[in-house]
Structure 1
């Protein structure tokens, strides 16, 4: 099998999607009322699909109200795109129903696996980057896109180990998946930085090897820091801190390469008051505004 770097056929759709070229926030339940009462100047909100896979309840009540005022990005964490077995058909069906209900501007999932047979591991686990995995991931993405009747965005992962049997690097693997399936790329810059530190590679070299023309959304987030068993620096993608200065620097470089792209500030742990996240969103928006204004 030859690996190709030819561009995606549906270049514009994959590159831009339908999200506004502005900055969004992950929508948290503790901020529902803040959003509805103040109508902040946020480009869009993103929610985790699995939090809404029930028929009713307060989450749906508030999301329905907020959806009337803001574009929506739906972010999956449980499809297990890289699983060795079949995708969970019931889960995919619930996802299709959720997309039909809210008509989000974008849907994204992770390049990872979370399930083995009937066991769900509640984590985003790494893959071996080889030809059998490539076939499997592409087949699963084709199934998802055919079921949802729309292209998805595939997120580059945060990893803490790599497989010795990998026959290609991560960027090459992602390029080939994008080419073969027509999916877009969700470029998580925090993940890119975390992996680059953990695996001792240069973050911009990794980013430059990705299919940047296929980026439909960017994620910015914070990380935790530890040391591994050898005393080396170890970063943990915990979404529990402000965006790090190193990630902001990567964001500036990526905007130079890609132009303006819809951008999300993620915070899933130690969630601060809404005003704190809004300030980070404004910081990202200022960088986007400079890029949109041009030289």
Structure 2
């Protein structure tokens, strides 16, 4: 296959952020402190079945609008394309976005065919088929703690689980079984993900960085599926809640918020805004350092 060559703009900072429980929050995940009359003003970020579902503070939305103006903002989510399409943020539909945990790279709202083809080839060459994983989750080896099994765009599986009903060794056994077949597992709240090894958020963001001509990457996320993204970033920030907080996840490049819940989302954006401001002050004619010369992608 011929190399896929994309236009290479002057490198600018890339802000790559997870969405749920990092930037946007359901009513049940806000964890607001204090009295109701002290709560911050909110904006609706997602509507589902004609009802508001996800929110951010008004201050957070204003901060994000400023970040969109000064960087390449890349939403990065495990949501499917359809689930992501419900989310409304400053800059929605422009530039790049990563959905389906990295399997889909959207360019101005449209799936990038080169990236999709690359992912499909990688899965075929490295991983057992999805059907084998589904059979393991729902067939003779099924356990009572797995309540429902669903697929995301026929690329990976996720299950709704009763954590208390899962045996002590089940997750370790499932992780080993999946790894032998080129898959990884991650338990987040009541969702258990089984994902092919080539599908990662960090791989998709690395491709955005390449197309961007280099530049620093500033990343944010709260879950174990965000760990690789935070590790590959030049600067990273996570909220003081979620799986990574429970794991005590720390790195030299990582800042942890003081707040948790929806106020952590605002703090994350305030931190990133400050980083961008300092970067622009240091290098007004080059918003971010160019780390490497752009090359053609050969998938």
TM-score (norm. length: structure 1): 0.32
| Structure showing the higher strand proportion among its residues | 2
**Whose Rg is larger?**
2
